[in-house]
């Protein structure tokens, strides 16, 4: 999953990016509202973490610019914790709201829930044959035994699982699993698919030549 984190406080931005990359997310960042608006409209993110108070262009203005074009889930981050501010955020199209200071574990949980709902999922548990994917715990088991996946391998499995039965193009996978600093012409995706097949079975991910991949 690819996220955009918008925060003008450098230390917090670095801490959030580091923590979410550890979970396997591909992370793009922006430090002002204008950069955030450009990236949010240019790329198809799975979720956006958006600070309310930003230089150049405020978070609410970014949200207003985004909503006529995209339904990307947006989690607002702000010290403005009054009911009136929360209502304003929801009315402008925010999907969730987390006041500062916050616990990183809660942020992670809220992002997982936002992404799951946006993909049409309502439960943490996805069963595909003998494979069980727990999106809450970010864990995978095969025939009842835990399978150790890297964070990046897990993100590939989860992304395809949330679209089970649909062919997902290589372009879409690169758009959602790799950040702006990674080379879309590299073989990173092929390597990741190969490693997942080695752990979950050669038939787990099906290749549709010229089209992409799917979980049948």
Of 124, 149, 137, residue with least CA distance to 204: 149
What are the tens digits of pLDDT across the range 91-128? 888 999 998 899 999 999 999 999 988 877 657 889 99
Q: What angle do CA 73, 80, 111 make, to 5 degrees?
A: 25
Contact 186, 178 (CB under 8 A): no
- pLDDT above 70 as % of the chain: 97
Cβ partners under 8 Å of residue 166, min gap 6: 214
For 33, the enclosing helix (H) or strand (E) is helix 33-42
**pLDDT class for 82, splitting at 50, 70, 90?**
confident
What are the tens digits of pLDDT across the range 155-211? 999 999 989 999 999 999 999 998 888 766 578 899 999 999 999 999 999 999 889
**186 and 165 within one domain:** yes
Of 37, 29, 27, residue with least CA distance to 63: 37
CA 55 to CA 32: how far, in whole Å? 5
Last residue of a domain, one of 96, 118, 140: 118
pTM, full prediction: 0.82
CA 146 to CA 125: how far, in whole Å? 14
**29 and 96 within one domain:** yes
* Res 181: pLDDT: 82
* Res 135: pLDDT: 87
Cα Rg for the chain, rounded, in angstroms?
A: 18
Last residue of a domain, one of 76, 100, 118: 118
CA 204 to CA 198: how far, in whole Å? 9
Mean pLDDT for the stretch of residues 20-40: 95
Pick from 29-38, 81-90, 107-116 the range whose average pLDDT is largest.
29-38
Of 142, 111, 140, residue with least CA distance to 125: 140
**103 and 38 within one domain:** yes
Owning domain of residue 186: 125-214
């Amino acid at each position: 999953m690819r996220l955009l984190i918008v925060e003008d406080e450098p230390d917090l931005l670095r801490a959030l990016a580091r923590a979410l990359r550890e979970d396997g997310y591909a992370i793009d960042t922006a430090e002002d509202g204008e950069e955030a608006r450009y990236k949010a409209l240019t790329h198809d993110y799975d979720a956006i973490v958006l600070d309310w108070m930003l230089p150049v262009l405020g978070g609410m203005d970014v949200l207003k610019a985004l909503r006529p074009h995209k339904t990307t889930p947006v989690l607002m981050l702000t010290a403005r914790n009054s009911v009136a501010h929360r209502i304003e955020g929801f009315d402008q199209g925010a999907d969730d709201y987390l006041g500062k200071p916050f616990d990183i574990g809660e942020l992670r949980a809220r992002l997982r829930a936002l992404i799951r709902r946006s993909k049409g999922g309502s439960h943490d548990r996805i069963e595909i044959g003998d494979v069980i994917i727990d999106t809450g715990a970010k864990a995978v088991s095969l025939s009842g035994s835990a399978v150790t996946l890297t964070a990046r391998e897990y993100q590939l499995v989860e992304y395809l699982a949330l679209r089970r039965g649909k062919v997902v193009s290589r372009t879409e996978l690169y758009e959602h699993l790799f950040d702006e600093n990674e080379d879309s012409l590299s073989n990173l995706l092929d390597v990741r698919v190969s490693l997942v097949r080695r752990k979950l079975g050669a038939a787990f991910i099906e290749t549709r030549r010229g089209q992409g991949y799917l979980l049948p």
